[in-house]
Amino acid sequence: MAQTEALLALLADGRFHSGEQLGCTLGISRAAVWKALQRIPELGLEVHSVRGRGHRLVRPIQLLDRERVLAALDATVARRLAGLELHHSIDSTNAELMRRSADLSSGHACLAERQTAGRGRRGRHWTSPFGANVYLSLFWRFPFGAAGLGGLSLALAVAAAEALEDLGARGVGVKWPNDLLFDGRKLAGILVEVGGDAEGQCHVVAGFGVNVGMPPGAPVDQPWADLREAGGTADRNQVAAMLLTRVFHTLGRFELDGPGTMLQEWRRRDILTGRPIRLHLPHGERDGIARGIDGSGQLLAEIEGDVEAFSYGEVSVRQLD
């Protein structure tokens, strides 16, 4: 696989490269180049080979570059980051950090070029094609129990929205609890997984999937948008760095003060308030009108004249109009 990785770095520009030139640069035989080329379609990328001209990627890609991500972090985050790992292909960056949670320090981050079993909320799959989007997870330890994490998901949605705005995106809204939408379509999703005690100490893995430049025809099971069409940069290293910077600061602030003012910021971006919604509950569906959130980030919904609060473990919500 290492040879395929090295080969991809050369082919990323989308131009033709001859087998001879590729072999020479990588210090391998033409037969080894050919073998490595055969593995590229397994990553979901298409190679176009023409006798006499060589090989090229049908769609050029920008690979993640650990040094470029580190160089683009804000100075405080660069100093405090416990680790940054970059995977070519992994099942899920969240699953990876959860598996190793006993050994990780707070502030450890994981990025991947693709996920083969990307996890979404409520057991859904997160489509994660190679080299197209950003898949980032950050591990954090809290000195208090999971009962103190109310509002964290919403605060993280604000952090991600701010990062995308820093990168040039406009019109990014939040849909309870932490979906980021552009033009009513999903731009980014956040999965927060929690371990440890309810009362003692706990840790979280906060996972962010940002659609940066989704390839046409990608098998996504919901309407989606990408950062490019929202007016943001297509530079994935910049996206990863900005997201990491904003999220790192938000987790630090949350650890000290809870969600506080971040819920105000969330309300400013809320796209549901005042709209008819359908709540999907463990025991059926209920329709109502979204009435914003309470001080711990629970969804408020007016149903038959009464306002009720719902927490995100128990409910998912869909806009009806």
Binding site for ligand BTN (CB under 6 A): 92-94, 115, 118-121, 124, 126, 135-137, 179, 189-191, 207-209
Q: Which amino acid is at 286?
A: R
Alpha-carbon distance of 33 to 290, in angstroms, equals: 57
Set 30, 66, 122, 318: catalytic member? 318
Does residue 186 carry a catalytic annotation? Answer: yes
Return the number of the residue (36 or 152) whose C-beta is nearest ligand BTN. 152
Sign (positive or negative) of CA dihedral 105, 72, 167, 5 = negative
Copy the structure tokens of residue 259.
């969600």
Active-site residue, 318 included: yes
CB nearer ligand BTN, residue 137 or residue 237 = 137
- CA distances (Å), 167 to each of 163, 203, 210, 237, 242, in order? 6, 29, 12, 11, 8
Report the amino acid identity of residue 153.
S
**Shortest distance in whole angstroms from residue 53 CB to ligand BTN:** 37
- For ligand BTN, the closer of residues 63 and 289 by Cβ is 63
- CA 71 to chain centroid, in Å, comes to 20
User: How far is Cα 318 from Cα 171, in angstroms, rounded to an integer?
Assistant: 20
Q: In what order do the strands lie in the sheet with 316-319?
A: 306-310, 299-303, 284-293, 276-281, 316-319
191: enclosing H helix or E strand: strand 185-196
The catalytically annotated residue of 186, 236, 269, 291 is 186
Q: Judged by CB, which is closer to ligand BTN: 121, or 228?
A: 121
Q: How far is CA 161 from CA 27, 34, 141, 230, in A?
A: 44, 43, 23, 12
At closest approach, how far in Å is the CB of 133 from ligand BTN?
8
Given 35, 68, 100, 121, the catalytic residue:
121
Of 184 and 295, CB closest to ligand BTN: 184
Q: How is residue 224 written in tokens?
A: 């989606």
Q: Min. distance of Cβ 95 from ligand BTN in angstroms? A: 6
- For the stretch 130-163, what's the b/e string if a residue is b when 16 or more beta carbons lie within 10 angstroms of its beta carbon? bbbbbbbbbbbbbeeebebbbbbbbbbbbbbbbb
Q: How far is the CB of 216 from ligand BTN (least distance, A)?
A: 20
Report in angstroms how near the CB of residue 320 gets to ligand BTN at its nearest. Answer: 20
Residue nearest to ligand BTN according to CB distances in the complex? 189
Closer Cβ to ligand BTN, 211 or 238, answer by number:
211
Tell me whether residue 175 is one of the annotated catalytic residues. no
Task: Tell the smallest beta-carbon distance from residue 187 to ligand BTN (Å).
Answer: 10
Active site residues: 121, 186, 318
